[in-house]
Amino acid sequence: MQKVIHAIFESGAFKPVEKINFPEHQEFEIIIQEDIPTRLIAILAEKAKSFEFLADSQEDIYTIHDGEPI
């Protein structure tokens, strides 16, 4: 079972931000997942050519006459 628990690292220990209901002395495996910077995601998408299909003129289905001005 996977459960996400938000915690703060303080005084050498992870402390949950919210109250959790687990038995005392229960062992867990903690996996740290850091956020990936948006700039890195953009670089990876560019290198993988993820949006290359947008250069195809058939993908440009909208004109200046579509939608309403904001």
Tens of pLDDT, residue by residue over 22-70, are: 999 999 888 887 788 888 889 989 999 998 888 888 877 888 788 887 7
Give residue 27's pLDDT.
92
Q: How confident is the model at residue 16 (pLDDT cuts 50, 70, 90)?
A: very high
- Three-state DSSP class for 53? helix
Per-domain residue ranges of the chain = 7-59
Q: What is the pTM assigned to this prediction?
A: 0.42
Residue 15: which H helix or E strand, with range?
A: strand 13-16
Question: How many Cα atoms are found within 13 Å in the side-chain-facing hemisphere of 4?
Answer: 2
